[in-house]
Amino acid sequence: MKHCTNHYLTKTRTSLVLLSSSLLLAACAAGPNYQRPKMDLPEHWATQPSTTSSATEKPANAAGERWWNLYGDPILDKIEDEALAHNVDAQVATARILEARAQLGITESDQYPKLNANGAQSRTKRSINPGLFIPPVRILEFSRVSLDASYELDLWGKFRRLSEAARADLFATQSNINAVRLSLTAQVAQQYFALLSADAQESAIRQVLAGRQERLALDKKRHEVGVISEYELHQSEADADTAQSQLISIAKARDQQEASLALLLGRSPRNVMHGKLERGKPTLTNVWVPDGLPAELLLRRPDLQEAEQKLIAMNARIGAARAQFFPTISLTSYLGSESISLSNLFTGPAGVFQFAAGIGQPIFNAGRIKFGVKLAESRRDQALAQYKQAVASAFADVRNALFAQESARQTLTAESSRSRALSKAHKQAELRYQVGISSRLEFLDVERNYLQAELNRIDAERAQRTAVADLFKALAGGWQQPTIKPAQQPLPS
């Protein structure tokens, strides 16, 4: 009895050892595990704060995901929501998520057994020519039903690495849609500001045109009574035609801008052709980025997350490629019935089953597996270089956006001051011309300068608002975190 007990304990211990070894072996996966690349990142932001303070200035960390709310324009808020809901690129990116999720499901299914139900029935007529081994039965019937199962043991982690890669592809696709949405919201805001700028420039030109047309009507009467010459009348006509030509050009640009924005919003062809876009009045003029924010905050950018997930996927595929070097162990079985009579198919004697195990080991394939590993490694190295470049480009985007916003603010200040000065000069020149103190050429020269200055001021306002959108795009949108506004410093020359 004691001998039987010891024998049983020995067999049990051996089984446990074999089972533990199998589990440990199954837990190993070929190929390198992913580790985030080490890069020399700056410790914090190098901000360029505004030299002046304004009630319309707001901190970048005061905005959440809907960073465009800082502009305080309900119309902009409305069309941003419309673009996010109906833009074609955003819809395509969403469909790609469904594609990647389905591909992940297909890849993960390889880790599980496959079970199929099969059935067959045949009726065969045999020859009656005499022969030594021909049975007397001429017509044979055969019926078979079975439940077939097959399973490949993932001892080397090939399927797990492939699932890891597919999962990273899914995360990359999800990050891609975030990048598309971020770029879309910035682009909608920029085109909206361009449309408002075109409206304002058209209004300025119309105002100048109205004045020139009034003077032209007066000059025609003065010419009829001989006060001015025909030469001066033609000059007045040319001035009015010049303003009319500018008005036509800006109206064309405004119409094209409105059509482009309608397309960006995902509107119907009918709406693109005949629809009109509402206009609002954005108030935001400047955004400052607080000092002391960690540089790792930028790693939340969706394009960087997408690049890193692609790197993770390529790294996992190295393991799947290396697993090809090792043996493949497959288990197959079936359980069913077969009979020459359909009526006896499900009786006891008709039952059949089989359980089989197979193993395969690559011996010679002309280096195919080795080159497959090198191919996977080279793709991983490409993804690594692209990820590092994407991180460096992201910091460059932030640096350029910070400088561009402050530069645009200073340009707007200068152009606004110049426009105000020339507006006063224009009024004074018109009075001087009417009383005969200054010549017509002097007045027209001041008027042209004033119009150009006003157009430049409007464009500078558009550029400043656009620079804010570029900044939020570079920062991966807004975030909310209490901070203290840094001491104001001048923009370096």
CATH at 90:
1.20.1600.10
Residue type, 230: E
Residue 223: the pLDDT is 85
CB atoms under 10 Å from CB of 68, counted, come to 26
Residue 23: the pLDDT is 41
Examine the pLDDT at 421 and tell me if it is beyond 70. Answer: yes
* 34-43 mean pLDDT: 84
* 5-31 mean pLDDT: 48
Of residues 404 and 353, which shows the higher confidence score? Answer: 404
User: Is residue 142 in some structural domain?
Assistant: no
User: Is residue 404 in some structural domain?
Assistant: yes
Examine the pLDDT at 136 and tell me if it is beyond 70. Answer: no
* Structure tokens given for 345: 């198919």
Residue 21: the pLDDT is 44
> Structural domain tally of the chain?
1
User: Is residue 13 in some structural domain?
Assistant: no
pTM here is 0.79
Of 228-232, 322-326, 343-347, 443-447, minimum mean pLDDT range: 343-347
Print the domain residue range for 454: 46-112+159-326+370-474
Q: Could you give the percent of the chain with pLDDT greater than 70?
A: 83
* 127-149 mean pLDDT: 71
* 125-137 mean pLDDT: 62
Do 185 and 261 touch, CB atoms closer than 8 A?
no
**Rounded to the nearest 5°, which phi and psi values hold at 84?**
-65, -30
* 103-131 mean pLDDT: 82
Mean of per-residue pLDDT scores for the chain: 82
User: Is residue 347 in some structural domain?
Assistant: no
User: Is residue 122 in some structural domain?
Assistant: no
User: Is residue 339 in some structural domain?
Assistant: no
Taking each helix axis from N to C end, the angle separating 74-86 and 88-108, rounded to the nearest 10 degrees, works out to 40
User: Is residue 129 in some structural domain?
Assistant: no
pLDDT tens readout for residues 55-78: 567 777 777 788 898 888 999 999
User: Is residue 27 in some structural domain?
Assistant: no
Residue 489: the pLDDT is 36
Residue 28: the pLDDT is 60
Of 36-50, 209-223, 272-286, minimum mean pLDDT range: 36-50
484: confidence class by pLDDT, cuts 50, 70, 90: very low
* 213-220 mean pLDDT: 88
Examine the pLDDT at 2 and tell me if it is beyond 50. Answer: no
